Structure 1
């Protein structure tokens, strides 16, 4: 049995401003596998389930005219999504080939691990953290 009450993340849900653009970014640019895609007519909304890793998914939603999320530094709420990668430099190189620019690599002062950030199509900060 896990030592915490909530032992794992099952999924993360995002609402995007441009469904087609975000679908392409997460499935093609980042390479997450599409599990299912459903149009919910009663809500005029798409829901896309993407596999991040076994047992962990990303839910991408569209809604008519969603309000923008404050994303200035240290805004209340979700700060960023972080993904564990074995080699930050290799992932950065692949992202650059796919048109995604990353910030300069930094080193976590407490763990000595390397990390960087880039943004999704709506400006959501995404972190790459070298495991």
Structure 2
């Protein structure tokens, strides 16, 4: 199985604008799933914010982004990114999770999510936040 790592950028209400900007620079296509699209609206003012988005270009450029909800802490430049590890094999993603979990703080346990067979987030002992998930086909 192959896994990929991708920089996952964090914004507060500007993820779609950032994704469109990066697409204009690097080319490719934008996919943006809003909190409303995912049925996960916590604040009506944030319903159209990006819960999961990416730009993927044929030249190899790939970046992911989302809008951090207001109920979670966020300061521009303070926690600007996550490292996303994606794969299609739950066993391998689980093993990677176990390795990273040593000395980490679990933000969200690795478990099934509405949008993925497995999804979890942790901050490792070095302060790096990792998002691990098993890919699911997008039917948007």
With normalisation by structure 2, the TM-score equals: 0.34
Structure whose residues are more often strand by fraction: 2
The higher-RCO structure (CA 8 Å, 6+ apart) is 2
With normalisation by structure 1, the TM-score equals: 0.36
**Structure of larger gyration radius:** 1
